[in-house]
Amino acid sequence: MKSKASAPGKVILFGEHFVVYGVKAILCAINKRISVTAEKSEENKISIKSNIGNLTLEPNKLISEINSPLKPFYYLANKMIQNQNTGIEIVVESDIPLGVGLGSSSACCVAGAAAISRLFHKTSKEEILKLAIEAEKTIFKNTSGADCTVCTYGGIMEYDKENGFDKIESEPNFHLVIVNSNIEHSTESVVARVREFKEKNETKFATLCNNESKLVKDVLGLLKENNIKELGCKVIQNQKYLETIGISNDKLREMIQGGQNESFGAKITGAGGGGCIFALTDESNLDQTMNQFKEKNYDCFSVKIDFKGLDTF
């Protein structure tokens, strides 16, 4: 029997990094997905095939000794086959660019947790999310859990560490142009750099957290009104805060500048240091914004909100 699941990638619209320190963030799932197929096998091995490489290992290895981005799948499979006389074969297919802040690893964890656990028993979305966050912690110990949450439930949501997520029921009608710097980044090391900044600038950082909280509150109102133009101003403002905490660089600034004229606003999304930016548009300026990026040979594509979240087959 095969068990298949797919989960969307995500974009952090507002609040990345500050969310680690308790500020509310706003995220949305995007219509680019990762699919995971899992199957029991007679051989007592865990085998994972993906377009970033393969991994085949005996069960019960120490997670800390595995040096592979596919480690979360191993963790999930190994957990599920305890006291079961079986191996597992996993195949991962992705249309989300990997390692650039678009939630590829969270989507892997969510789709992986669903596909693997459902080989053994029916699991609720809540259980899958819990497993996915555990798995994500094998590669990023301090994850806030926000990314896995939006990949599971889809749509647009507010999230803070203390209260978890709350789905935003409005369906704002925007398009995001995603531009990939093609600079891979490690979320863990950028988050560590921000922690250093915070420790050296406690007062400044506290002010930034306050400002970000106010901005997010305003954004919640604007989302309900579908006021995309004003949302663009908040995007520009949020980018200024991200510049201050040192997660930007010349390439990202150049990209943001590149889209600012036609779109309503552009900012880094996710950890920064590399990865992607997005430019906020609607039907009226989507093509012009895409063209501006294309003229400069940037790697770009447009996405909309995915309202489905985790899907199982």
Q: Binding residues for ligand MEV, per CB under 6 A?
A: 12, 16-17, 19-20, 101, 143-144, 146-147, 187, 191, 270-271
Cβ proximity of 14 and 265 under 8 Å: no
Nearest CA-CA partner of 114 in 12, 24, 35, 27: 35
Tokens matching residue 8: 């969307």
Question: How near is the Cβ of 176 to ligand MEV at its closest, in Å?
Answer: 15
Q: In degrees, to the nearest 5, what angle opens at C-alpha 18 toward C-alphas 17 and 22? A: 125
Min CB(294)–ligand MEV separation in Å: 26
The answer to whether residues 26 and 156 touch, using CB atoms and an 8 Å cutoff, is: yes
Distance CA 203, CA 180 (A): 33
Pairing assessment for the beta strands 46-50 and 87-94 based on DSSP bridges:
parallel
Nearer to ligand MEV, 19 or 286 (CB): 19
Give the residue at shortest CB distance from ligand MEV: 144
Return the number of the residue (3 or 104) whose C-beta is nearest ligand MEV: 104
Q: Map 189-212 to HEC letters.
A: HHHHHHHHHHHHCHHHHHHHHHHH
- Of 101 and 112, the one with the shorter C-beta distance to ligand MEV is 101
110 or 146: CB nearest ligand MEV: 146
* Cβ proximity to ligand MEV, 31 vs 186, nearer residue: 186
Minimum separation from the CB atom of position 8 to ligand MEV (A): 14
Helix, strand, coil shares of the chain as percentages rounded to 5? 40, 25, 35
Residues 13, 270: Cα–Cα separation, whole Å: 9
Distance in angstroms between the alpha carbons of the first and the last residue of the chain: 12
Nearest approach, Cβ of residue 137 and ligand MEV (Å)? 10
Using the minimum distance from each CB to ligand MEV, give the nearer residue, 268 or 290: 268
The least CB distance from residue 263 to ligand MEV, in Å, is 21
Catalytic residue among 147, 299, 306, 311: 147
Q: Is 95 marked active-site?
A: no
Task: Give the span between the Cα atoms of 267 and 14, in whole angstroms.
Answer: 9
| Cβ neighbours of residue 156 closer than 8 Å, sequence gap 6 or more | 13, 26, 27, 28, 29, 167, 168, 170, 171, 172, 223, 305
Alpha-carbon distance 216 to 23, whole Å?
9
For the beta sheet containing 276-281, the strands, ordered from the edge strand earlier in sequence to the opposite edge, are: 265-269, 276-281, 175-180, 299-303
Report in angstroms how near the CB of residue 12 gets to ligand MEV at its nearest. 6
Tracing tokens 């996993």 back to the chain, one arrives at 90
Annotated catalytic residues are: 147
